[in-house]
Amino acid sequence: MSELPNDLLVENRKKLPDDLRFLVEKYPRENWAGHANLGEMARFWLQRHDMFRELGSMLQKSVGDYREGVLRPADFAQWFAPRLRFFLQQLHHHHQVEDLHYFPVFARAERRLQRGFDILDSDHHVIHDALERNAETAREFLVALQQNADKQRLAADAYANENERLIHMLTRHLFDEEDLIIPLMLDRGEAELGIQG
């Protein structure tokens, strides 16, 4: 994996480079839902991404509710821990499947998008590290819930910062991944790509 320029890193990127946007310009996002080639796999992909967005937002809201005193520590921990575990595990698995199976298929199908898949692959490495930091900071936060108010507040702040960073990167990544992959599916059709659901 080659090193990306600073402006293409998932932490900094505003959008995919223009030379990778030729298919999304041909198939703009607002036309996806009604397109004849929006197949089962594309719909599933978009649903998974929506699930990650929704769950990430729910986790952020729960931390905010805890910090504002809306949720007591025990209630927060009981709600938060299993959902965070599910979120982190599902995201890790989703990225593995993409890296090992789908990205190579898509890159072979449209060579002009290879650099885009390199960018997404780089994102996965950065996000993987952020997932590990998120899990560790969450563990420290949950332990601190058994301690005094100062330790709880410090741990909550540390986790909230780490989670905000992860969600920012994830949001950018999911959007760019959709802009690269869904138009390719619409252009070629899932059967031609060999990825029918």
Indicate whether 2 belongs to any domain.
Answer: no
Residue 133 sits in a domain of what CATH number? Answer: 1.20.120
Indicate whether 69 belongs to any domain.
Answer: yes
Indicate whether 134 belongs to any domain.
Answer: yes
Residue 173 in contact with residue 37, Cβ under 8 Å? Answer: no
pLDDT in tens, 114-142: 999 999 999 999 999 999 999 999 999 99
pLDDT of residue 60: 94
- In angstroms, how far is CA 153 from the centroid of its own chain? 27
Cα(84)–Cα(72) distance, integer angstroms: 17
Indicate whether 174 belongs to any domain.
Answer: yes
Q: Is the pLDDT of residue 197 over 60?
A: no
Q: What's the pLDDT band for 195 if we cut at 50, 70, 90?
A: confident
Residue 45 in contact with residue 182, Cβ under 8 Å? Answer: yes
Residue 66 in contact with residue 156, Cβ under 8 Å? Answer: yes
Indicate whether 3 belongs to any domain.
Answer: no
Q: Is the pLDDT of residue 1 over 90?
A: no
Indicate whether 1 belongs to any domain.
Answer: no
Domain count, the chain: 1
Indicate whether 30 belongs to any domain.
Answer: yes
pLDDT in tens, 27-68: 999 999 999 999 999 999 999 999 999 999 999 999 999 999
Cα(32)–Cα(69) distance, integer angstroms: 42
Q: What's the pLDDT band for 194 if we cut at 50, 70, 90?
A: confident
Helices vs strands, H then E, count in the chain = 7, 0
> Average pLDDT, whole number, for the chain?
94
**End-to-end Cα distance, the chain:** 29
Residue 172 in contact with residue 13, Cβ under 8 Å? Answer: yes
Indicate whether 83 belongs to any domain.
Answer: yes
Percent of the chain with pLDDT over 90: 95
Q: Is the pLDDT of residue 85 over 70?
A: yes
Helix axes 149-188, 114-144, angle to 10 degrees: 160
Q: Which residue has the tokens 């937002």?
A: 57
Identify the domain containing residue 55 by its residue range.
9-193
